[in-house]
Amino acid sequence: DVKVTQSSRYLVKRTGEKVFLECVQDMDHENMFWYRQDPGLGLRLIYFSYDVKMKEKGDIPEGYSVSREKKERFSLILESASTNQTSMYLCASSLGLAGAYEQFFGPGTRLTVL
Amino acid sequence: AQKVTQAQTEISVVEKEDVTLDCVYETRDTTYYLFWYKQPPSGELVFLIRRNSFDEQNEISGRYSWNFQKSTSSFNFTITASQVVDSAVYFCALSEAGNSGYSTLTFGKGTMLLVSP
Position B116, amino acid: S
Local confidence band at A20 (pLDDT 50, 70, 90 cut-offs): very high
Nearest CA in chain A to B110: A42
Task: Please determine, for residue A87, whether its predicted confidence score (pLDDT) is greater than 80.
Answer: yes
Task: Please determine, for residue B105, whether its predicted confidence score (pLDDT) is greater than 60.
Answer: yes
Please indicate if any CB of chain B lies within 8 Å of the CB of A97.
yes
Mean pLDDT of chain B: 91
Three-class SS of residue A85?
A: helix
Task: Please determine, for residue B100, whether its predicted confidence score (pLDDT) is greater than 80.
Answer: no
Please indicate if any CB of chain A lies within 8 Å of the CB of B50.
yes
Task: Please determine, for residue B12, whether its predicted confidence score (pLDDT) is greater than 90.
Answer: yes
At residue B76, the pLDDT reads: 97
Taking residues B99-116, report their average pLDDT: 86
Q: Cα–Cα–Cα angle for A70, A47, B91, nearest 5°?
A: 115
At residue B98, the pLDDT reads: 57
Give the sign of the dihedral formed by CA A24, CA A29, CA A31, CA A37: negative
Q: Which of A105, A109, A110 to mutate to probe the B interface, most B CBs <10 Å?
A: A105
